[in-house]
Amino acid sequence: MDSVKKSWVFRITIAWFALIVFFAIFGPWLPLPKWDQVFDDALSVTPFKQGHLLGTDSNGYDIFSGIIYGARISLFISFTAVFVGGTIGSAIGITAAYVRGKFDYVVSTLFNVVLSIPNLVLSLALIAVLATNVDPNVPTSTGRRIMVLVISLTIVIIPILGRIARAATLSWSNREFVLAARSMGSKDRNIIWRHIVPNVLPAIFAVAFLAIGVVIVAEASLSLLGAGVPDGTSWGSMVARGRNDIEFAPHIIIIPLMCIAFTVIACNYIGDVIRKQLDQRQAKL
Amino acid sequence: MNKLGELAKRIGQLLLVLFLVTLFVAFLMRLLPADTVDIMLPGQPEEFKAIIRHELGLDKGFFGYYFQWLNSFVHGDFGSFYFAGGSETVASHLGNALPKSLLLMLYSQIVALAVSIPLGLSSAYRAGSKFDRAVSGTLFTFSSIPSFAIGLILALVVGVKLGWVEPLGYVPMSEGLAEHFKHMVLPVASLSFGLVAAYTRLLRSDVIATLKEDYVTMAASKGLSDRRILWRHVFRPSSITLMTSAALNMGGLIGGAVVIENIFSIQGVGFEIIYALGTRQYVALQSLIALVAVGYVLFNVIVDIASGFIDPRTRERRGLR
Amino acid sequence: MTLNVKRSRRVRQIAIGLGLALAVSTVGVSGSSAAKVQAAKSGGSITVGIFDTFPGWGPKDNPANSALMAAKTIYETLFELNADGRYVPYLAQSITPSADFKVWTLKLRDGITFTDGTKFDAAAVKANLDASNGTQILTLGLAKSACTAGTNLGFYSNILKNTVIDPLTLQINLHLANSEMPETLYASGRAFMRSPAQLTDPTKCGTTPIGTGPFKMSAWSQTELTVVKNENYWRKDAAGVQLPYLNSIKFVYAKESAQRANGIKSGTFDAIQMTSASDSKQMNSLRKNSSLQRLNSGAFWYPSTWFNTTIAPFNVKECRLAVSAAIDRVQYVKVRLNGIGEVATSVVGKSSDLYNKAGFQGFDLAKAKTLAATCATALGKPLEFTFPTDTSSDSQANATFLKNQLAKAGITMNVKVEETAVIIKNAFPQTYQAMSLLLNEAKGAGFVMPFWVSDNFGPASPNPLTKIPTLAPLGKILNLSKTNDPALDAALFAARGEGDAAKKAALYKSATRIVQENGYSTAVATTEYDMFVNKKLKGIDGLPLLSGGKAKSMANYGMNFTGVYIEK
């Protein structure tokens, strides 16, 4: 682990995370224009010109502000979906694997059912249904759209992490120390908390970080398909808004894309690091 | 348990999953906070809406509706897209859309495998070398760039600026093989990037593990050439892992295809799903999603059976997942 | 967002009496030279990129802009629009009004057939007009008329009776006087003549178009249409060669402007249509591209925002005017239209007979704030409303831009993203609080006014439909602002019935003033359209019209493909 900590890739990754999390939390208090303030004498300005750090888009919106406000929505959606989905999924998965029997069968079948609908299609369907208002004059508010996005992505995450948790629990619950604890009459709840959860968590974390990357990309894809956050801003909606400008002012779309890619790379990298640690530990056992 | 019994059990499980999946999709559509027909056909006379409601079985309660829909579905009637002056069957749309999506995914898988097999084998063979690290690093980066970003950039740079291939649209093979592939190159390339990274990585670690096995050492001691060992003794067992992984990746590929079809204006199944969603055709949407799910489940079953057929050990391995 | 439900023109330069003269000229041209020309021009297939989906093929379905371009390869209209903005006979030979403009006698061109072999005659035209004024519903029943009872009914409800006088003569009796019947029978290029067999077959009416046009449908979905040459088309070119020249055309829906631009630059598309309403940046870029031909429509279209005056918040006049005052049109034209468009000074454009600046509420932020405050007092809460916009990224950006402008005056606009097809479904009859639709257009007012009057049946209509509770509301289906203003109705009906041009113009301008002073609708900027065409395509300026001067080569529905050929 120490060698990993010293590697420059690891340091950059952590720095990137720190940066975007800082922006996401403190963005609104930074001395910056609001993301949708129009600078109509500065349209499609390239980075570092006319006082715009990352330039402006074709509407005259400051891209740096957009990135910072967008970090908020993109990170909120992805972290919430993965945290909530991961928690619920793990709880169900661990319980099912520990209890076994009919409950396990039902849970596995349900996981399979949800997993048999491709992620993106499932979230599209959920958004189509949950973000619809019959009354043409009642819009789906940005807040509700974000919540629907979170819920739909959460539902997608539950079986993915649930399965991982279940598989990891299965392999741990037959270990000697678990069996020993059982034979000594420890309560199931204690066994799960003391012996299973600590051992299963790293496996879940490894996949959870990958899942954050997947969710950020899914949010961007949904924006591109017109099912994202329409009149707010997220990195995905910045890409969607700028897709027709790619030829004239590529920075409008490249900058949010780079933010997405960096974040995904960082998540994948951390997931990788955790998995490697895990493999080493298992090799030792 | 005898083989016949096991087969019956497997088929029973499969039918249960298929039943539950379609039920789940039907349930999803019923989460709609309003009457389905009111949403599908706003501004139409009530009498007309009542006729449609009855035709669709939406006046029969959830299970009444579901079983009527399921009955039509298994008979190949996937419902209709409704518009002001009439309707078009989903089946007729699928006739055009399905081949486009299937070919898109098939080509993507083929290309991804064709690229990742030599890459995976050679980087495993030279594990730890500069070449290995360069391949891993590059693929790691590429796998983090969303396919739609690659698609948008390829369309502009390769399709328009360089003008090598077509930046959008679809031409069936019947209108010329060359044209067909010229239209397919960019969408397939966009979809393959992520797959190449995943497959290469998987193959590399699998091959490294296999290389340590005794029979490989033995083959080497017998003086067989490295190339022969790599292909004959190492790649063959690993190919099943790869195949299984290709099947599992199908879900992600379907999702990716939805976005890529949108970007390249290919009117495939993903395009139809987005269209049904946008125009609020919930019955058509339900059938389309159910179809995708059923196809995905069946595909996995087929791969499962096929790989078990090739190597009985995988069945156990997959059972553990 | 702007949709257009609309109209146009096209090019066809005249040759008077071509109908008859053609037969003669065909004989006059020697067989071999005609064959040579044929070989030089005929054949080939092209692909065209469009930005609208196909709603269906019945009288109820209104294809917008670029989808209308495709529909016009299959269907034709009795009248056509020429370059001067006048409506001239096309499938019709002539039309003559009575002195009071209540009875019109329509003479038809001879020798035209539908692609199903049915003769195009007075009975066929009667079947079309009966389908549109509701007579078909009364005689055949609603079930057999499933695809004929929609917005078209609002448009033609003034027609009381259609009578076949002889095989090529039809008499049309109206309830209220209409001196602009040719424009009414053109209806923005949408008053298609369909085969009677199509109109009365409810299973095929919306899905199987049968017209008289140069092409016929071979395959379609809502997003793609392929048409093939109509071998028996009634027109020949000046050399006597059978039209059209092309074997087939494929129209492909590509929503995003960059997709269409990529397509034309790479040669995937042979022609594309662009609208300044959402594609201005790509338009500006392509206009500099010397390897493409360009057709431009000019600013002939005036997208409007229609306020629903029957429900909150726009049942309050100040709320409507506040929105109108809060839109900085100069900034909008600069940023969102990239300079392609003129700032609106009236709800219609300068070339329209309806044009009148009086009462139009332009940008005035201070006034907008005052009006919004008055509005808020009347409502008992701040002004907030919902505005639908279509799903393309540029349309959404347009809406977000307006939202931000309104926010400066303290007005909250909630954007609701919907597919165009859904917006149209919800707009007729109007269920939105406010929405944009491009309906005000052209020089004349005959097409525009039905959207401004409260009820197109007109006062005291003897039309039997008005007695049927489910059908009577169809007279109001076009009334997008849901106005109920007797003064406005009176001015518009009087203007339409007026034969004297000066008096008519004065009446129409007074109507525009009423609309603007009450803020029933407002406008931001004009819209224009471009077609970008591969240089290998020739004849894109269109064929001569059969009568009535020079035609316009480009409209909101793009270009005409009848005379287009591929340079060999």
Terminal Cα-to-Cα distance of chain B (whole angstroms) = 22
pLDDT of amino acid B215: 74
**Of C91, C129, C127, C124, which Cα lies nearest the Cα of C109?**
C91
Nearest CB to A116 within list B17, B32, B320: B17
**Of B109, B28, B44, B55, which Cα lies nearest the Cα of B288?**
B28
**Euclidean distance between CA atoms B31 and C387, whole angstroms:** 25
- Give long-range contacts, CB 8 A cutoff, 24+ apart: A74-77: A74/A216, A74/A219, A74/A234, A74/A235, A74/A236, A74/A260, A74/A263, A75/A20, A75/A21, A75/A24, A76/A24, A76/A146, A76/A150, A77/A146, A77/A149, A77/A150, A77/A153, A77/A215, A77/A216, A77/A219, A77/A234
Per-residue pLDDT tens digits for C124-144: 999 999 998 888 888 888 778
Q: Which of B247-261, B305-319, C219-233 has maximum average pLDDT?
A: C219-233
Cβ B144 vs Cβ A264: under 8 Å: yes
Partners of C203 on chain B (C-beta within 8 Å) are: 86
pLDDT of amino acid A170: 84
pLDDT of amino acid C37: 59
Mean residue pLDDT of chain A comes to 85
pLDDT of amino acid A188: 79
Check residues A49 and C301 and name the one with the higher pLDDT: C301
Range A216-243 average pLDDT: 85
What are the C-alpha distances in Å from C288 to residues A38, A177, C281, C294? 27, 76, 11, 10
User: DSSP string spanning C181-212?
Assistant: HHHHHHGGGT-B---HHHHT-TTTTTT----S
Per-residue pLDDT tens digits for A76-121: 999 999 999 999 999 999 999 888 889 999 998 899 888 888 888 8
- Residue B169 near chain C (CB below 8 Å): yes
Per-residue pLDDT tens digits for C369-386: 999 999 999 999 999 999
pLDDT of amino acid C27: 38
Cβ B32 vs Cβ A132: under 8 Å: yes
**Euclidean distance between CA atoms B57 and B159, whole angstroms:** 48
Q: Which helix (H) or strand (E) holds C233?
A: none
Q: Which residue of chain C has the CA closest to B276?
A: C419
Strand partners, C537: C566
pLDDT of amino acid A3: 65
Task: Cite the DSSP H helix spans in C428-500.
Answer: 486-497
Partners of C61 on chain B (C-beta within 8 Å) are: 83-85
pLDDT of amino acid A1: 52
- What residue has token string 């004989």? C27
pLDDT of amino acid C495: 95
Partners of C431 on chain A (C-beta within 8 Å) are: 136-137
Asked if A118 lies within 8 A of B252 by C-beta distance, the reply is yes
Cβ C435 vs Cβ C415: under 8 Å: no
Asked if B155 lies within 8 A of C419 by C-beta distance, the reply is no
| pTM for the whole structure | 0.88
- What residue has token string 């004498």? A41
pLDDT of amino acid C39: 64
Q: What percent of chain C has pLDDT over 90?
A: 62
Asked if A265 lies within 8 A of B149 by C-beta distance, the reply is no
What are the phi and psi torsion angles at A47 (to 5°)? -55, 150
**Of B293, B283, B282, which Cα lies nearest the Cα of B254?**
B293
Given pLDDT bands bounded at 50, 70 and 90, which one contains residue C30? very low
Per-residue pLDDT tens digits for B144-157: 888 899 999 999 99
Residue B317 has pLDDT above 50, yes or no: no
pLDDT of amino acid C420: 82
How many alpha carbons fall within 13 Å on the CB side of residue A281? 11
Given pLDDT bands bounded at 50, 70 and 90, which one contains residue B1? low
Residue C306 has pLDDT above 50, yes or no: yes
Sequence letter at residue B139: L
Per-residue pLDDT tens digits for B205-236: 888 888 777 777 777 777 777 777 777 777 77
Helices A63-99 and A142-172: crossing angle, nearest 10°? 40
User: DSSP string spanning B173-224?
Assistant: GGG-HHHHHHHHHHHHHHHHHHHHHHHHHHHHHHHHHHHTSHHHHHHHHTT-
Asked if C258 lies within 8 A of A244 by C-beta distance, the reply is yes
Range C275-304 average pLDDT: 91
Given pLDDT bands bounded at 50, 70 and 90, which one contains residue B26? very high
pLDDT of amino acid C13: 31
Q: What is the largest CA-CA distance in chain B?
A: 83
Per-residue pLDDT tens digits for C198-241: 998 888 888 899 999 999 999 988 889 999 999 999 999 888 89
Q: Which residue of chain C has the CA closest to A246?
A: C258
Cβ C518 vs Cβ C293: under 8 Å: no
- CA quadruple C433, C434, C437, C441: dihedral sign: positive
Asked if B42 lies within 8 A of C391 by C-beta distance, the reply is no
Given pLDDT bands bounded at 50, 70 and 90, which one contains residue B314? very low
Given pLDDT bands bounded at 50, 70 and 90, which one contains residue A282? low
Residue C92 has pLDDT above 90, yes or no: yes
Per-residue pLDDT tens digits for A196-215: 888 888 888 888 988 898 89
CB neighbour class for C368 (10 Å; exposed up to 12, middle 13-18, buried from 19): buried
- CA quadruple C21, C24, C26, C29: dihedral sign: negative
Range B177-202 average pLDDT: 91
- Give long-range contacts, CB 8 A cutoff, 24+ apart: B65-70: B65/B26, B66/B22, B66/B23, B66/B26, B69/B26, B69/B283, B69/B286, B69/B287, B70/B22, B70/B26
What are the C-alpha distances in Å from B46 to residues B42, B144, C519, C532? 10, 51, 33, 44
Q: Which of residues 253-282 of B touch C (CB under 8 A)?
A: 265, 267, 271, 275, 278-280
pLDDT of amino acid A5: 66
The 3-state DSSP class for residue C315 equals coil
Range A151-155 average pLDDT: 90
Range name among A13-22, A139-148, C556-565 with the lowest pLDDT average: A139-148
Per-residue pLDDT tens digits for A94-103: 999 888 889 9
Task: Cite the DSSP H helix spans in B57-163.
Answer: 61-74, 90-125, 130-143, 147-154
Per-residue pLDDT tens digits for C237-267: 888 899 999 999 999 999 889 999 999 999 9
pLDDT of amino acid C36: 62
CB neighbour class for A115 (10 Å; exposed up to 12, middle 13-18, buried from 19): buried
Residue B246 has pLDDT above 70, yes or no: yes
**A and B: number of Cβ contacts within 8 A:** 136
Residue C6 has pLDDT above 60, yes or no: no
pLDDT of amino acid C347: 95
Sequence letter at residue A115: L
Nearest CB to A243 within list C258, C285, C311: C258
pLDDT of amino acid C35: 60
Range B272-289 average pLDDT: 90
Closest Cα in chain C, distance from residue A86 (Å): 31
